[in-house]
């Protein structure tokens, strides 16, 4: 989307917020997109693997067993919510209905999950996961790029662009290993990256897509890559 287009969308978003709670539609405090009760009841991903953000039944001091056996190319994941309940419904309104208020609330939720970080703990740049061109055309926008652009603006971080050089079949229905094979060599980053970057998507399922992009970032000069997403899909 052009800069002019982004500006138009942002003007719409400023009119959309504040308003009623995005979840229960009750009155929300001035300047907040949600009420305190709904915010507290969201499915926060607090018990999770530090490296892949997979929800765990109890606190894990570090990486889960899978990450210890097969470490992903990103050193940690910051995914504040689980993809379920109200968060899943909000995400679906954003992805499939292109609802601007839903997208703005998702960006704000990402900011909330990162609020405890010091400036020195933030990466030096963000990269959105490139969407399959056909899917982006179907929806009329690239949701990962949309989220990443606005999050970067709020965090005052630059964005770099990755390219999808191989159109891959859908990931739906594939297990973890098949997803990794499907995405091998799918992305490239043409620019020289700073040492610390984060790759960003809306939903993290197995982490295979973000891992493939993280690998491309390491080839492009990054020394440490984090994986960021709004929500994590709990694996069965």
Question: What secondary structure, in 3-state letters, does 10-76 show?
Answer: HHHHHHHCCCCCCCCCCCCCCCCCCCHHHHHHCCECCCECCCCCCECCCCCCCCCHHHHHCCCCCCE
Q: Are 226 and 75 in contact (CB under 8 A)?
A: yes
Indicate the DSSP class of residue 167.
Answer: P
Per-residue pLDDT 10s for the chain (236 aa) are: 444 444 455 545 444 455 799 999 999 998 889 999 999 999 999 999 999 999 998 877 889 999 999 999 999 999 999 999 999 999 999 998 989 999 999 999 999 999 999 999 999 999 999 987 666 556 667 999 999 999 999 999 999 999 998 766 555 555 556 555 667 778 999 999 999 999 999 999 999 999 999 999 999 999 999 999 999 998 75
Domains and CATH numbers, the chain: 42-232 (3.40.50.2020)
Rounded Cα distance between 44 and 84, Å, is: 10
Q: How far is CA 223 from the centre of its chain?
A: 20
């Amino acid at each position: 989307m052009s800069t002019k287009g982004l500006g138009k969308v942002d003007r719409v978003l400023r009119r959309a917020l504040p308003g009623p709670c995005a979840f229960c539609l009750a009155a929300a405090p001035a300047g907040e997109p949600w009420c305190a009760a709904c915010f507290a009841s969201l499915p926060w991903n607090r018990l999770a693997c530090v490296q892949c953000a997979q929800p765990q039944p109890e606190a894990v001091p570090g990486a889960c067993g899978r990450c210890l056996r097969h470490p992903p190319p990103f050193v940690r994941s910051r995914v504040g919510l689980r993809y379920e309940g109200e968060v899943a419904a909000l995400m679906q309104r954003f992805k499939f209905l292109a609802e601007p208020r839903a997208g703005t609330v998702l960006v704000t939720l990402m900011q909330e999950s990162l609020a405890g970080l010091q400036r020195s703990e933030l990466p030096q740049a963000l990269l959105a996961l490139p969407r399959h061109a056909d899917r982006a055309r179907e929806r009329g926008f690239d949701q990962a790029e949309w989220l990443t652009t606005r999050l970067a603006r709020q965090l005052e971080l630059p964005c770099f662009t990755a390219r999808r050089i191989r159109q891959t079949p859908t990931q739906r229905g594939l297990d973890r290993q098949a997803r990794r094979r499907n995405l091998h060599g799918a992305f490239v980053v043409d620019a020289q990256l700073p040492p610390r970057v984060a790759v960003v998507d809306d939903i993290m399922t197995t982490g295979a897509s973000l891992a493939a992009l993280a690998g491309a970032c390491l080839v492009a000069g990054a020394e440490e890559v984090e994986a960021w997403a709004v929500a994590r899909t709990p694996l069965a």
